[in-house]
Structure 1
Amino acid sequence: MSNVLDLLDQTIFDVSRATGRPSLLQCVWVYDRPVDLDGLRRFHEHLQRGRLSRRIARSPLPFGRHRWVAPDHLPELEIVESARPRKEFEAWLTEQGKTPLDCEHGPGWHLAVLPFTDGGAGVSFVISHCLTDGVGLCEALADAARGRDDPISWPAAAARRRWQALREDAGQTARDIPAMGRAVVAAVRLARRSRGGTGAATPRPATPAPATPPALPAGADERIVLPMATVFVDADEWEARAQALGGSSTALLAGFAARLAQRVGRVAADGSVVVMMPVNERAADDTRANAISNVGVTVDPARATIDLREIRTAIKQAWIRHRKVPDEERAVNAIVPLLPKRLLGGASVAMVGFASNVVGSSNLGVVNPAAGRPDGTDANYFAMRNIPVGVTTATMYRRGGAQLVVLGRSHGHVFVSALAYQPGRHNSNDGLRQDLSSTLNDFSLTGTHL
């Protein structure tokens, strides 16, 4: 089996290195009783031998494709000795999100458990997005909980002599030349589309151009932690509401994300919101870290709370187009290894562009029940969220802010995790929790916060 990185995985790695803004995924489990530490240790040991136990080794060629190799050392389990009140759990999760991770040198992930002074415990698992996407992470967690180890043994980084690595990587580059030619053509088309007003590399529905980027306050450029919040909704209540509005769970999530955006003014001149949704392309025995692509739909948040049929139809049509039309954004990935680091960082910013009416909406679907059993028994709550690292206020103002909502169904609950930042607005975790509650209320839903 080849250990050469997929082009999308290479792009995510190279861009994160060029910009200094890696993205992390964090899984959260909440127990209303103490965690079985022996069970958690077994879970951790299987994670060390599972599909997440690998790292990225760069090619000796400056334009070569990187490869998956075995890790040099394994991540340790953190068992916090000093219990903290349950109300401080989110603050602790934020601290865990700052754990130094490195998918190249290791460790690429970190598992920790915190006992609560008022009973129960919380567990956090943080991992580099370079190592997996959301669906792949859920599968890896389920395998570890069931005691399944990865059947693949990745080679050691030093398994290839330098001359052998140079020869093999040069050969891989030669085989990539046809894809590079198609990438140049796709890049030209995307550049023309960007000049036409969409301001994005990913094909998006046509919408009125958003407003001009707001001016960054003097002296305000600093690293920031984007507000995050998670709410749990009864799964049957969520599904029933989606059906009552003539939609599906995915359509309800898209409508929810658009309505949340409307609350903070994250809309186009006509009040519409562009909702971008990842499409899962993971197949059996897939070794890619990120097996996804994207589609986008335009949503009217004013109608979303009363009728989801238009959104559901738009999503179906977007998926059909996606299967028929070549993915130009994916095609461009073939030339990423050729770009110098400085140029790659600037290109990634230009490709994203100013997108003040664009939001992300990711539906993980029904999570494998085993993923909710890190100590061998069902946690009371399970959720997943994204954590951008190295973000600055200047980045947020230049891009028009950010909003991403992630949904998954586990153990009778639907979790809705959101991160958001809106330039010119007071941004905080408490404010985002209030916005989530208000948006749920707009859809006649109720929830329990993390």
Structure 2
Amino acid sequence: MSNVLDVLDQRAFDLGRAIGVTSVLQSVWVYDRPIDVDGLRRFHHHLQRGRLSRGIERSPLPFGRHRWVASEGSSDIEFVELARPREEFDDWLDEQVNTPLDCERGPGWHLAVLPFTDGGSGVSLVVLHCLTDGVGLCEAMADAALGRDDPTRWPAAASRGRFRALREDAGQTLRDIPAVGRAVVAAIRLARRSRAGAAAAAQPTITPPALPGADQPTAVPMATVFVDADEWDARAQALGGTSNSLLVGLAARLAQRGGRVGPDGSVVVGMPVNERADGDTRANAIGNAAVTVDPERATTDLREIRAAVKQALVHYGEEPDEAYAVNAIIPLLPKRLLGATSRVGAPNGVGSSNLGVVNPAAGRPDGTDADYLAIKVLPHLGLTEAMLNRFGGTQSFLSGRANGQVFISAHSYLLDRPNTNDRLRQDLLSALNDFSLTGMHL
């Protein structure tokens, strides 16, 4: 089995290094009782031996493809000794997100436990996104809870020797030449299409003036809420939709509340598409589809969104993803150019990622069912205020179903508006209320 990174994984790594931005996933469990420490230690042990037990080794060639190698180290479980009120759990989760992680030298992930003053417990697992996507993380957690280790054994770091590494990576570059040619053609097509779309939807863009401290990293607000799964399904059915189309409608409604709409009031909702198959060793096995949504109609009728989502997925399956094909060029681009051309989304766009039904085993880190499970994606750690302004802000969703609940994690940074976790949570709860749904937060 080849340990060469897939081009999408290569892009994620190179882009992060080029602009100084880290993307992480955070799995959160809440127990209304103390944690079974021995069970959690077994979970941690199998995480160390599972699909997260690898890291990235750079090619000695400046244009070479990087490779997966065995991880050089992982961190111990962090047991917080001083209990904190549940009201401070979100603050603690934010602290955990800032744990130093490194996909080259390790550790690439970190597991921690916080006791609550009322006798309950919270658990956080923070993982670098360049090591896995949401579906891969769910599989890794389920495997660890079930005591299953990764059958793949990756080579040790620096085991090839420099001459062999140069020879093998040069050979890989030659084999990539046909893909690079196709990537150039795809890039030209996408550029023409982008220019045509920009001309058709031309509108004045106002970039706020740079403020003092705008070149310093800024936190992008996060919020997570839970909705009863039966209530969610009943509402989707009543509106003529599905669980996924309801999530797309909710994402569009939140984007509308934040002013992220086009001249006609529409919202472009991007939907990551899971491509992970059995034995897939890619960290990020995803593609992308998109639909244009009218957020006004979403709260009363989901049939149009449902049809649009279905058509977008059919088109995705029939047509090659040119944006993915372009990734073959990434190793050849100077890193400064890669950083200068990076984007995090469209000013009238929002991401809506649906993990579907999470394997129940993923909700048992100590061997028993947690009372709550949620997964968050924090894709832009390290972005500065100036960069966020240049990108037009950012907004996205990650949702899944576990323990009879639908969790919805949102992150959002809006221009010329207050950007706090509390404000985002209230906006999210209000958007749910627009659909006659009741959400709760921990």
TM-score, with normalisation over the residues of structure 1?
A: 0.96
Counterpart Cα distance in 1 of 2:131 and 2:316: 25
Alignment of 1:272-287 (within 5 A): 272-287=266-281
- Aligned-pair CA distance for 1:139: 0.4
- Aligned-pair CA distance for 1:191: 1.7
Contact residue 183 and residue 332 of structure 1 kept, 8 A? yes
Partner of 1:202: none
1:196 counterpart = 2:196: yes
Match for 1:310 among 297, 304, 325?
304
1:291 counterpart = 2:289: no
Contact residue 55 and residue 68 of structure 1 kept, 8 A? yes
Counterpart Cα distance in 2 of 1:371 and 1:215: 43
Letter in 1 for 2:239: L
Residues 198/119 of structure 1: CA separation in 2 closer, same or farther (3 Å cut): farther
Q: Which runs of 5+ in 2 are unaligned?
A: none
List per-residue Cα deviations over 1:17-64 (Å, max 9, x = no partner): 111011100000000000111111110000000011000000111111
Contact residue 210 and residue 356 of structure 1 kept, 8 A? no
Match for 1:321 among 293, 307, 315?
315
Contact residue 74 and residue 109 of structure 2 kept, 8 A? no
List per-residue Cα deviations over 1:385-433 (Å, max 9, x = no partner): 1112101111111111111111100010000100011110011111111
1:434 counterpart = 2:417: no
Contact residue 209 and residue 268 of structure 1 kept, 8 A? no
Match for 1:374 among 365, 382, 395?
365
Identity %: 69
Partner of 1:219: 212
Partner of 2:264: 270
- Aligned-pair CA distance for 1:343: 1.2
List per-residue Cα deviations over 1:67-104 (Å, max 9, x = no partner): 00001122211111111111000000000000111111
Partner of 2:375: 384
Contact residue 131 and residue 283 of structure 2 kept, 8 A? yes
Partner of 2:235: 241
Contact residue 272 and residue 286 of structure 2 kept, 8 A? yes
Partner of 1:204: none
Residues 210/264 of structure 1: CA separation in 2 closer, same or farther (3 Å cut): farther
Counterpart Cα distance in 1 of 2:61 and 2:99: 30
1:29 counterpart = 2:23: no
Counterpart Cα distance in 2 of 1:21 and 1:168: 30
1:184 counterpart = 2:184: yes
Q: CA RMSD in A?
A: 1.3
Q: Which runs of 5+ in 1 are unaligned?
A: 200-206
Alignment of 1:91-170 (within 5 A): 91-170=91-170
Counterpart Cα distance in 1 of 2:54 and 2:76: 15
Moved more, 183-192 or 359-368: 183-192
Aligned residues: 440
Counterpart Cα distance in 1 of 2:439 and 2:76: 34
1:260 counterpart = 2:251: no
Partner of 1:9: 9
Match for 2:435 among 436, 443, 448?
443
TM-score, with normalisation over the residues of structure 2?
A: 0.97
- Aligned-pair CA distance for 1:213: 3.3
Counterpart Cα distance in 1 of 2:203 and 2:137: 35
Partner of 1:395: 387
- Aligned-pair CA distance for 1:150: 0.5
